[in-house]
A and B are shown apart, each in its own frame.
Chain A
Amino acid sequence: MKMITAIIKPFKLDEVREALSAIGVQGITVTEVKGFGRQKGHTELYRGAEYVVDFLPKAKVEVAVDDGLAERAIEAIEAAARTGKIGDGKIFVAHLEQVVRIRTGETGGQAV
């Protein structure tokens, strides 16, 4: 099983959710985060005080998938989240050791 974590532009969230749903990924966790890669921040000015704000708002999307589904999930996210402009984000893929469905106690592939 794989844990796929994607950092994307917040306005792309709905598209990514729909793209994942279309290939059969049913569960998703979303967090509002902030960060930067190569994208520049902006300047804020409060009276005489000028501050450079590096951190930009992003959305973190986490999905757990079966190995078989992983490739298609990654492609789906990539396609849905891409704008072609700087700041589109990154996808991280990690091996997932165990998954448990709390309600039923199912584990492994059954629980994903």
Chain B
Amino acid sequence: MKRRLIGLLLATAVLPAMAQAPAVPATPAIDSGDTAWMLTSTLLVILMTLPGLALFYGGLTRAKNMLSVLVQVFVVFALVSLLWALYGYSLAFAGDGRFVGDLSKAFLRGVGMQTVGALATIPEYVFFAFQGTFAAITVALIVGSLAERIKFSAVLVFALLWFTFSYVPMAHIVWGGGLLAQDGALDFAGGTVVHINAGVAGLVGAAMVGRRIGFGREAFTPHSLTLTMVGASLLWVGWFGFNAGSAGAANAVAGLAFVNTVLATAAATLSWLAGEALHKGKASMLGAASGAVAGLVAVTPAAGYVGPMGAIAIGLAAGLVCLWGVSGLKRMLGVDDAFDVFGVHGVGGIVGALLTGVFAAPGLGGTGGAAPEAFGMAAQVWIQFKSVLFTLVWSGVASFVAYKAADLLVGLRVDEESERQGLDITSHGESAYAR
């Protein structure tokens, strides 16, 4: 009798457990660690633009133009963030075209609390937000070339057009499954999409807007290298979100990208300073800040693919090559790229993209990319080279068209009197510093 009762009890105990046997999960679960890290990374990249880039550029400009630089960066962030939601995200990351996606997610249709985007373990909203900050900073970088003489309305018109025809397609081509992604190009966080893209746009724009009045004769002394240093520091710190966040998860790849972002930047700072000291006799604060940014730019495509020693090598190279980019090369090009967007971001992006092909090699401490056993350095460098060339051409053409359109619609440059007086007063009716 007792045994029968115990048997019955056991049976009733087991039954519910059997009924609750779990079914195979249909999709991978949202990982709260990944999501927390990606939200944090998004914040860090926003900080890079607001106020990092704004102050970095602001300190380099003359006092009479300070507010114009700050407001251009600020407004570009706002404008691009909106456009990203309206159609940018969709065209970049929805759909399968070789050059551009589709409008299936325009106005964030179909993006909801349960959906995931390209990354399986984070909510789609988070992926959308993270990618949006990249779009914003890329466009904001360009104003550095055009500073001190560009019309405010031209900045807005150009930003809309260039975002639409250069950034969004490039993002799709490299990250959204388009042409270069299929080709096997390695670009971890945006050496092509962000830096070469913006660098070329800056160079083309500076050439089309023309040199500032007094270029080569008057002293265009930066009015606050103190603020430039603050800006550079915010850029370096924020860049950990840019690079390590591009791992898309809170894992060892993010850890590797984090480490590489420390080391490449440190190496580039020192190599730029060494180059300066050897060549001109003095190491400067602006040199240190510029070297750091050059290293950050160069490690951007490499961050999750190269080993730490490879990152150091990339940094050392970037510091020296970009130093040449803002001096010797700049003189050769003869373009008044006011804050050296091409010299640092363009040149640094090219250096980084090519060296990624070298140092991603497992033999040199790299991860070997998507298929490590099949990695061939020469083949990879060739793929990288093609991606650089593609970006140079695409950005060059798209930028030219965008500037031309802006020129026809509103005119690119302020008149001479306004430029002399300063854009703060003439474009914005305000003064940065009490006189």
Instruction: Please give the residue numbers on chain A whose beta carbons come within 8 Å of chain B beta carbons, in ascending order.
Output: 44-49, 51, 53
Contacts and interface: CB of A to CB of B under 8 A. Distances in A.
Contacts of A53: 219
How many of chain B's residues touch chain A, expressed as a range? Answer: 10 to 19
Interface string B251-288: 00000000000000000000000000000101010110
Nearest to B327: A48
Contacts of A48: 326-328, 330-331
Contacts of A44: 219, 221
Contacts, number: 27
Contacts of B328: 48
A47 B219 contact: no
Contacts of A47: 286-287, 290, 326-327, 340, 343
A74 B282 CA distance: 41
B95 interface: no
B220 interface: yes
Nearest to B216: A49
25 contacts: A44-B219, A44-B221, A45-B280, A45-B282, A45-B284, A46-B220, A46-B221, A46-B222, A46-B286, A47-B286, A47-B287, A47-B290, A47-B326, A47-B327, A47-B340, A47-B343, A48-B326, A48-B327, A48-B328, A48-B330, A49-B220, A51-B219, A51-B220, A51-B221, A53-B219
Interface of B: 219-222, 280, 282, 284, 286-287, 290, 326-328, 330-331, 340, 343
Interface of A: prevailing SS? strand
A65 B249 CA distance: 78
Contacts of B220: 46, 49, 51
Contacts of B219: 44, 51, 53
Contacts of B284: 45-46
A104 B343 CA distance: 65
Ranked 4 nearest A-B pairs via Cβ: A48-B327, A51-B219, A47-B326, A48-B326
B161 to A, nearest CB: 29
Nearest to B222: A46
Nearest to B60: A46
A48 B221 CA distance: 12
A47 B344 CA distance: 11
A110 B331 CA distance: 65
